Structure 1
Amino acid sequence: MINKISFVIPVYNEEENIKPLYSEITAVAKKLGYDYEIMFVDDASNDNSFKLIKELSSQDSHVKYVSFAVNCGQSAALYAGFQNSSGDVIITMDADLQNDPNDILEMIKYYPEYDVVNGWRYNRQDSLSKKIGSKIGNFVRNLLTKETIKDTGCALKILRGDMVRRIKMFKGLHRFIPTLMRLEGAKVIEVKVNHRPRIYGQSKYTNLRRAIEGFYDLIVVRWMIKRFLKIKVKESNV
């Protein structure tokens, strides 16, 4: 049963996209029919992103925000959004308008049977080099973590709130949310979603930076999987 949905949106220099994204999310939220909030987490943007977010919050009580004093990265922004949101269901997406909020109407059908509904950008609107880099990255990640996720980088996800809030997030680990959720006992499914070309703003990552950081993070997550405590109590009187 869903009581409230929290949309958690990390933001870094996306001033042209804030208002269109807000309008799209609001339209979808009204179709869903649940109580909701839109949590923008501004990662110390140096454009007008935060100003626009504050304007929206003054006009609509559904809009909440957290603004960082210094740039901390996407993992920190998501973690802050998780911890400050109040929904029992959390929906994440990027602020660049490449994710289509309308896909949520189909994805939500798989919840609560699945604790994680992960978007799969099966027709990515990115450069060839980015697509190739992503395929290699997903292959290596799945090989070392024994996962089957085709698109770990898709930001559009539906997550069980109480479960994702238990995860201690570290820098870079947002790419492994389905895997970290599985460690908590989550059932995970991937659903095909749209992917739109970026119109405004610039990508925050290069293939080289993503590869270097991703491999470093992968080693950490593999260690976490190997060392995760799986306790089975035989008997207790407490």
Structure 2
Amino acid sequence: MHYKFTIIVPVYNEEDNLERVEKELLAYTKTASTPTKILFVNDGSKDNSQAIIETICNTHAHFDFLLFSENSGLSAAIKAGFDYVDTELVGYIDSDLQTDPKDFDLLLEHIGAFDLVTGVRANRKDSFVKNMSSKIANGIRRTFTHDGMDDTGCPLKVIKTDFAKRIPMFKGLHRFLPAMILLQHGKVIQIPVQHFPRIAGTAKFGLWNRLLGPLMDCFAYLWMKKKYINYDVAKKST
């Protein structure tokens, strides 16, 4: 099959969720609006996640994996996925499945006219502290980037792969994906998607890396924006 879309699934100590991830993503690939495959990126999990991932990938031909030798963080997992995909479209979803894979079809409807389509979580099913810290962090980020996005932390995105591969990633930059597409003169849009409570495993982000960490990342983004190289080739030899 000629696949057009790869879904990256970053994984870090999610053994209790992976059976459900397999079930939900397998169901989605059977009904997806475009031929889709899955790429797990195991960010150095210390539990039984890797054994489960390998069983899944040995069972389904359109499921693949990368395993990091040590924990490197969410941005590194997403970057590795971008580096390895070979389809024209790439997306990602968190392995806690607080978003619904079926909502990828909502995003794919718009990817023709845009270069990144991101979900925005409607009726978030998180704690008050988590919701408020995310709201504040998003407000700070918008002030720095002017990207117009309300929820860049939403773990449901679709990007044209040629744009994704040109993103210079660093730790924390996964929150700045729309802004980095805008630096490439690309077009971005946000679409409301469903959100659900986490039902297994533990959250990997606390107050520090949801609020204070992203504030420091904003300064890294401003440096990146100032130094970013952008060019268009008008003509080349044949």
Shorter-chain TM-score tier = over 0.9
Match of 1:137 in 2: 137
CA distance in 2: counterparts of 1:232 and 1:47, whole angstroms = 46
Match of 1:158 in 2: 158
CA distance in 1: counterparts of 2:94 and 2:208, whole angstroms = 21
What secondary structure, in the 3-state scheme, does the structure 2 residue paired with 1:110 have? coil
Match of 1:75 in 2: 75
TM-score, length basis structure 1: 0.93
CA offsets 1:138-187 (integer angstroms, 9 cap, x no match): 11110111121000110100110111011121111111111111111221
1:221 is aligned to 2:221: yes
How do 1:187-198 residues align onto structure 2 when only pairs under 5 Å count?
A: 187-198=187-198
CA RMSD of aligned residues (A): 1.9
CA distance in 2: counterparts of 1:237 and 1:54, whole angstroms = 44
CA offsets 1:78-116 (integer angstroms, 9 cap, x no match): 111111122111111100010111111222111111111
Q: CA deviation at 1:34?
A: 3.3
TM-score, length basis structure 2: 0.93
| Identical counterparts, % of pairs | 37
Which consecutive residues of structure 1, in runs of 5 or more, have no partner in the other structure? none
**Paired letter, 1:64:** D
**Paired letter, 1:193:** V
Moved over 6 A (4+): 235-238
CA offsets 1:8-33 (integer angstroms, 9 cap, x no match): 01000111211211221222222125
CA distance in 2: counterparts of 1:130 and 1:40, whole angstroms = 26
Aligned length: 236
Q: CA deviation at 1:232?
A: 7.6
Match of 1:172 in 2: 172
CA offsets 1:51-71 (integer angstroms, 9 cap, x no match): 100001111111100001110
